[in-house]
Structure 1
């Protein structure tokens, strides 16, 4: 049985492959929502489980914040995908993904800017600061929570 690390690596490679295909077909210059829909189609063709615009409640000092987080895409209850269609990525975009990883406990995130000439130029993989925050048996089976 592959380790959690290998499972996450294989999953991120599949997601990146889907993104490359979407970017190859559509190119840059469209709205983020178009890329989101096409990514969902492409990932489902690859038999990946994908949730779009996933709302995640957030606990702050014992109080539930209902509109806490909204993940662009969550793939196989494991990898957070944040989509952008901007002139260029800024450090705050990476910080956003890291914050999502910390609050949900998911091990990896992908930041993708489809408004780049090549997807490689607009792609960034980010790992949870504590990469092994969740046990392997929980990694692919539990829904989103904001507690590790």
Structure 2
């Protein structure tokens, strides 16, 4: 059932995995589905979640007709939607499956996202393992401490 040629993005997910997802659109190396995030204050903010073959997730916001937000990360979309308790986007951003709102964490859509984050080359991590920009720090030649590059 999956198209091996990749012409319509079906190599990313099988038809069974995507069945009953609302607003499904297949592209050459991506799929798009309708997604949203619910704020108790503002209600539902709706958008289009694009999952690429590389595991990248980006959301085009459609919360209001004039909204110009494009290519948001799920975390940024969660914040943009006015969610009071942001920082849990895997649970707060949802897609519609069989007519019900299902959190991203309970769908197959994060399958490649998790793989993409595991296979990063690690050059974005500092000596303590936390993410940082690789060009922000320099090592002192006298004491070997890492310091912020002021250039």
TM-score (norm 2): 0.25
Given the two structures, how large is their TM-score scaled by the length of structure 1? 0.26
Q: Which has the higher contact order (CA 8 A, sep 6+)?
A: 1
In our comparison, the structure showing a higher alpha carbon Rg is 2
Bigger helix fraction = 1
